[in-house]
Structure 1
Amino acid sequence: MGRRDLIKRSAALGLVAAPGMGLLSACASGGGDDDPGEGGTKGKTSKDNPFGAEKGSKLDVVVFKGGYGDDYAKAWEADFSKKLGVTSTHTGTQEITGKLQPRFNAGNPPDLVDDSGAQKINIDVLYKNGQLLDLAGVLDAPSVDDPAKKVRDTLIPGTLDPGLQEGKIVALNYIYTVWGLWYSGKLFKEKGWQEPKTWADFLAICKDAKSQGIGGLAHQGKYPYYINVAIMDLIAKKGGLDAMKAIDNLDPRAFVGSDAAQEAIEAVYEVVEKGYLMPGTNGLTHTESQTRWNQYKAVFITSGSWLENEQLKQTPTDFDMKFLPMPLLPGSKLPFEAIRAGSGEPFVIPAKAKNRAAAQEFMRRMLSKEWSTLFAKQANSLTILKDGVDPSVRLRPGTQSTVEASKAAGGNTFRYLYTEWYGEMGTAIEAASNELMSKRIQPKEWLKRCQAAVDKQAKDPASKKNHRD
């Protein structure tokens, strides 16, 4: 999935994010210290190597090879080897669960993992089984760029929140992401369409497109995570932050009894009922649907800001990719400019990492301007580091539009956390959305199923440890 929400930080930030599979066998619980752990390796510490990454040791790195690719990680690894003499075993894959669950179960996990994509291992599952290191040690270490500051003090406010489990940061969501709708500037210009700011205007464009043989909305049908971008954004913008927090806080009226949720799901279902979906989109993967969108077979598509990089090879040079905040329903509490924004692409250090010292030092350097710029060059996206990208890096059209949208949003940003806190509940909501988009259920049943998922999660005593004020 990818992740998946760019570059000249001095221009982009400006923007501030508001704070807003199977069972794995239990392993030793993690801590926030720099002890390399059982079977670990640790060398001599220094100002430039505070965790004591040992020269000549090896680092086992597994990266989700999705929308951002994995060339950025290879560039990091090459620099790490050059400067510290620590070589890496690199695995780029989309099969995170398939490749890593057996290793976690056997007590032999990698040292650093980008746990993302459709086949990720849910962070809450790993945490509950004691398999993740508390990252406090990394976040409280001296910043590479300014040793007088802690690493955590160099990050965009709120971007650590998605990595929280019961008050501990156990995942570093590294990439600053925005979510919403996307369209082709070229197609809009040719058709004389204006950027829709209301849902009525959005539907009018979809209707006009349909009359010309073009789908109004494409979505990545096999991965309903994507259509939930539209649904959940509409709920938050209609009902305000209280409607969003009601879902994260497992409110007994989060869906059933919520006017915002009801109006949002009815609005999305109207797209289905009126035939404004791109034909076939319900049966397509993310890349298949996105590629047809790149071929002008649909006007809009839902996604995060990894979309441009994921579609580089399929996007025509004059496509002029643009980002669009979710249009407003009548009486919305948040303005049109409000966007879902925050950090994505969680990196974790397993509690039983064999080279914990090197993994922590590697993560510390991920949050340096040099490595943040390396990422931007390779992946066309921003990181969570403030002013973290060299100003000379040029932006692609889609990325530039997310920068502009983020600046326009200002403090009007929001971010759901239930997807990180409650993996099973998130999956149930996605399943309901899949049924809705295929017309196998209607809005009333969608609300009922989503509320049932919330109520089930609320019965778990551990859920009481997560709360948003």
Structure 2
Amino acid sequence: MNRRLIRRTAAMGLAGALALGLAACGGPTGGASTGDGRELTYWSMWKEGEPQQKALSAAIEDFTAETGIEVDVQWQGRDVLKKLQPTLHGVPAADLVDRSLPQVKSMMVSTGTAADLTGVLKEPIPGEPGRTVGDVVPAKYLELGRAEGKQVVLPYAIVANGLWYDGASFPGLREKPPKDWDAFRATLAAEKKAGRAPLALDADIPDYGAYWYSNFVVGAMGPGSLHEAAADRTGTVWKQPGYVRAAERVAALAEDGYFADGYDASKFPAIQQKWATGKAGFLLMGSWIAGETKPYAASGFDFRMLPFPTDGAPGAGTPVEAATFGWVVPAKARQSEAARRFIAFLYGKKQMQAYADQAQGIVAREDIETAPAMADVARALKEGTPYPTFDGVDMDFAEWWTKTFHPLSTKLVTGKISAADFSEQLAAQSADFWKRAG
């Protein structure tokens, strides 16, 4: 386990005044804090050496220098909540963690160990008079961190899914994007006619294949539609026309040969690498893809993204599949006051800009300049309607998602099952799953 203790010395007068101020504020939910407000322990989902870690490390140093609050930070990696979980019902091993909502909901909300951070939205941002956390974080991003009516995650970084392509290979697409699915499918047909593979997909990653059906459903019927079907214990919703039509579209992509050769038998990241080297046109993926493929992308690759085409009019309100990484405070954190001050500091424009620059991603403030590769993502998120990845289905119905949906979805996207059979089997197997589940 990597461990780094960042300490800075500040004037005793400043530290004392700050401690008194913290004692008067109460915890994230208004309760009293048992700590002295002069230190906190932060366990991070990032690992030492990652761009996000470097950005946060620099911000921590600035925070300690300005406030006198010492931060014991441990770069735990993606299993941070699993490591923290055994301590949550006593004195938590960390006062602050960061992760995305699905993991927080599964491991903390379900056990009542995540604090409601709604009160932190009123916290003033240092150096920005009159501005609070709630003033700078759009409500649509806050929604991506809510569960059971509580703000359990305060988002600081946003990732969005869309159709990624090389702007140099499609020079007019950004100015004149396909207005609907039929128009985009015409673009795919033209690519195939020209002898190029229209789509890239590593189908051995079940979630990557599932992006297609999920986006077709939500793109046609709106956010909440996939979740509604998954919640139906009879399974009959899957046979309704809109869901069957989504299956037909996925099946058509496979039948028409739009996916790159070998996609149904490849091992990740083989096809993704083909895409980055110009051997496939479009890749349906999250916005991390620009950083992930940059080391081996073709020279001059211009990372661009199209929001997934919908059946409705493009523009305002277009659904954009998204997720957030954000701050989480355990309900019994001893240093909750120091944690909330730290959170407010990190929402400062200077800190958010530094994070965006280092991580080359999208942050939860819309007044931050984005990297060129993230320009389309930022625009899509600002103009569209972000909704949880897979419409929240993988989060709320995790076992059904992996045991029932994944196998059928993979068969559908690889052309091993027809749209009609997919819909029938999904309905029947879902009903059986929920009957066994009780």
1:383 aligns to what? 363
**Alpha-carbon distance in structure 2 between the residues aligned to 1:115 and 1:138:** 17
Cα distance per residue 1:352-399 (max 9 Å; x no partner): 445333322222223221221121111222322242x2xxx4631x31
Normalised by the length of structure 1, the TM-score is 0.72
- The question of 1:276 aligning with 2:258 is answered yes
Cα 1:91–1:444 change in 2 (3 A) is farther
Cα 1:114–1:438 change in 2 (3 A) is farther
Cα 1:194–1:153 change in 2 (3 A) is closer
Aligned residues: 404
Cα distance per residue 1:250-309 (max 9 Å; x no partner): 586784243222111211121122332223334557655433311112111112223223
1:437 aligns to what? 413
Residue 153 of structure 1: SS of its match in structure 2? Answer: helix
User: Is the 2:28–2:340 Cα contact (8 Å) retained in structure 1?
Assistant: no
**Alpha-carbon distance in structure 1 between the residues aligned to 2:46 and 2:435:** 31
Q: How far is 1:313 from its partner?
A: 2.1
Which sits farther off after the overlay, 194-203 or 87-96?
194-203
**Alpha-carbon distance in structure 1 between the residues aligned to 2:235 and 2:145:** 26
Cα 1:230–1:366 change in 2 (3 A) is farther
1:111 aligns to what? 95
Percentage of identical aligned residues: 24
Residue 400 of structure 1: SS of its match in structure 2? Answer: helix
Normalised by the length of structure 2, the TM-score is 0.76
Cα 1:189–1:161 change in 2 (3 A) is closer
**Aligned with residue 54 of structure 2, among 57, 71, 95:** 71
User: Is the 1:247–1:454 Cα contact (8 Å) retained in structure 2?
Assistant: no
Gaps of 5+ in 1: 1-29, 44-53, 462-469
**Alpha-carbon distance in structure 1 between the residues aligned to 2:257 and 2:392:** 32
Residue 170 of structure 2: SS of its match in structure 1? Answer: helix
User: Is the 1:271–1:277 Cα contact (8 Å) retained in structure 2?
Assistant: yes
Residue 159 of structure 1: SS of its match in structure 2? Answer: helix
Residue 231 of structure 1: SS of its match in structure 2? Answer: helix
Q: How far is 1:218 from its partner?
A: 1.6
Q: How far is 1:446 from its partner?
A: 3.9
Residue 385 of structure 1: SS of its match in structure 2? Answer: coil
**Aligned with residue 141 of structure 2, among 159, 178, 181:** 159
Gaps of 5+ in 2: 1-26
Structure 2 counterpart of 1:350, one-letter code = P
1:333 aligns to what? 312
**Alpha-carbon distance in structure 1 between the residues aligned to 2:224 and 2:83:** 39
Q: How far is 1:31 from its partner?
A: 6.7
Cα 1:208–1:445 change in 2 (3 A) is same
**Structure ID, larger Rg:** 2
Q: Cα RMSD between the aligned structures?
A: 3.9
**Alpha-carbon distance in structure 2 between the residues aligned to 1:178 and 1:238:** 18
Cα 1:259–1:72 change in 2 (3 A) is farther
User: Is the 2:159–2:286 Cα contact (8 Å) retained in structure 1?
Assistant: yes
**Alpha-carbon distance in structure 1 between the residues aligned to 2:96 and 2:159:** 21
| Structure ranking higher in helix proportion | 2
Cα distance per residue 1:412-446 (max 9 Å; x no partner): 66553444444445445445423433445443454
**Alpha-carbon distance in structure 1 between the residues aligned to 2:58 and 2:434:** 41
**Aligned with residue 293 of structure 2, among 311, 316, 322:** 311
**Aligned with residue 36 of structure 2, among 42, 56, 61:** 42
Q: How far is 1:319 from its partner?
A: 0.9
Residue 81 of structure 1: SS of its match in structure 2? Answer: helix
